[in-house]
C-alpha cells in the first residue's frame, strides 16, 4: 500500500491560515473593518465559525496577521527585484514591481492599505506595526540611494533621507488615490511611471 498522505499539524495550520487570510482580505475589501466579524472569516474560509477567534483572539490579532502576511509577500518580491541593484535602477525596479503587485493582487493591496490608514487613528494597536513597516521602507530606499552615490551612479539633488521620505509619501498617495476609485486599476501604472520620472530627476542619474 502507498504511503499515507495525511497532513501534519503544521501543514494543516498553513493551509487554514492561507484560507483565512484570503477570506479576511475579501471581507475587509467588501465590508470594511468595523462590520467584519471573526466568525465570518472562519465561515468564508470553510471552517467552523470559532476557528478565527481561536487562532487570532480578536480582530486586532486578525488585522495584525493580514498586515504581516501581505507585507511579507511584498517584501519577498521587493528583495527579488532589487537584488544587486542600487541608485535609480533599484528605485525604478521597486516601483515597477509595486505597480505590478497592485495589478496582480489588488485586493491584497487594498486590504493592506485600508488597515494602514486606519492605524493612523489615536491609540490604534496596529500603529507600531505600521510605523515599523514604514520605517523599513524608508530605510530600503535610503540604502539604495546611498549605495548609488558610493558607486558613482547618481548625484541626488537632496539628502537621501528626504528623497526616501518623498518616495514613501508618494507611494502612499498613489494608493490612496486608487482606493478612492479601485475599478481604475490601470491608473496605477501611470502614477507609478510618473513617480519614476520624478525620482530620476531627483537622483540625477549619471550617463
Could you tell me the CATH number of the domain that includes residue 96? 1.10.357.10
Report CA-CA distances (Å) from 108 to 21, 62, 74, 112, 145: 9, 14, 10, 6, 28
Domain count, the chain: 2
Q: What is the pLDDT of residue 5?
A: 66
Look at the alpha carbons of 68, 70, 71, 76 in this order and tell me if their dihedral is positive or negative. Answer: positive
Cβ-in-10-Å burial (0-12, 13-18, 19+) of 99 comes to buried
Q: Are residues 85 and 67 in the same domain?
A: yes
**pLDDT cut 70: percent of the chain above it:** 96
Give the CATH number of the domain where residue 41 resides: 1.10.10
Q: Do 73 and 140 reside in the same domain of the chain?
A: yes
Domain interval for residue 45 = 7-57
Rg (CA), the chain: 20
Residues 73 and 44 in one domain: no
Give dist(CA 167, CA 82) in Å, integer: 16
pTM of the complete model: 0.90
* Mean predicted lDDT score pLDDT of the chain: 92
**Residues of the chain above pLDDT 90, percent:** 83
Q: Are residues 52 and 147 in the same domain?
A: no
Series of mean pLDDT values for 10-residue runs along the chain (207 residues): 66 89 96 93 94 94 97 95 96 96 94 95 93 95 97 95 97 92 82 95 79
Cα separation of 115 and 113, whole Å?
5
Task: For residues 42 and 116, state if they share a domain.
Answer: no
3-state secondary structure of 7: coil
Q: What is the DSSP string of 112-174?
A: HHHHHHHTTSTT-TTHHHHHHHHHHHHHHHHHHHHHHHHTTSB--SS-HHHHHHHHHHHHHHH
Q: Would you state the pLDDT for residue 39?
A: 95
pLDDT for the residue numbered 187: 84
Give the pLDDT confidence of 68-117 residue by residue, as tens digits: 999 999 999 999 999 999 999 999 999 999 999 999 999 999 999 999 99
* Domain boundary pick from 35, 57, 79: 57
13 and 50 fall within a common domain: yes
pLDDT given at position 204: 82
1 found inside a domain = no
Amino acid at each position: 500500500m502507498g504511503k499515507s498522505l495525511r497532513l501534519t499539524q503544521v501543514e494543516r495550520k498553513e493551509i487554514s491560515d492561507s484560507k483565512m487570510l484570503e477570506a479576511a482580505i475579501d471581507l475587509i475589501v467588501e465590508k470594511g473593518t468595523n462590520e467584519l466579524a471573526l466568525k465570518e472569516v472562519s465561515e468564508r474560509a470553510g471552517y467552523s465559525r470559532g476557528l478565527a477567534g481561536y487562532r487570532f483572539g480578536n480582530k486586532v490579532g486578525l488585522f495584525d496577521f493580514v498586515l504581516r502576511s501581505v507585507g511579507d509577500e511584498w517584501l519577498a518580491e521587493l528583495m527579488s527585484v532589487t537584488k544587486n541593484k542600487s541608485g535609480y535602477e533599484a528605485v525604478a525596479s521597486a516601483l515597477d514591481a509595486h505597480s505590478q503587485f497592485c495589478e496582480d493582487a489588488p485586493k491584497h493591496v487594498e486590504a493592506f492599505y485600508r488597515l494602514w490608514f486606519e492605524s493612523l487613528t489615536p491609540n490604534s494597536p496596529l500603529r507600531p506595526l505600521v510605523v515599523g513597516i514604514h520605517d523599513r521602507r524608508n530605510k530600503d530606499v535610503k540604502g539604495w540611494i546611498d549605495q548609488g552615490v558610493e558607486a558613482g551612479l547618481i548625484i541626488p539633488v537632496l539628502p537621501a533621507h528626504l528623497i526616501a521620505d518623498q518616495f514613501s509619501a508618494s507611494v502612499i498617495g498613489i494608493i490612496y488615490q486608487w482606493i478612492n476609485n479601485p475599478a481604475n486599476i490601470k491608473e496605477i501604472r501611470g502614477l507609478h511611471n510618473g513617480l519614476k520620472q520624478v525620482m530620476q530627476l531627483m537622483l540625477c542619474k549619471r550617463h
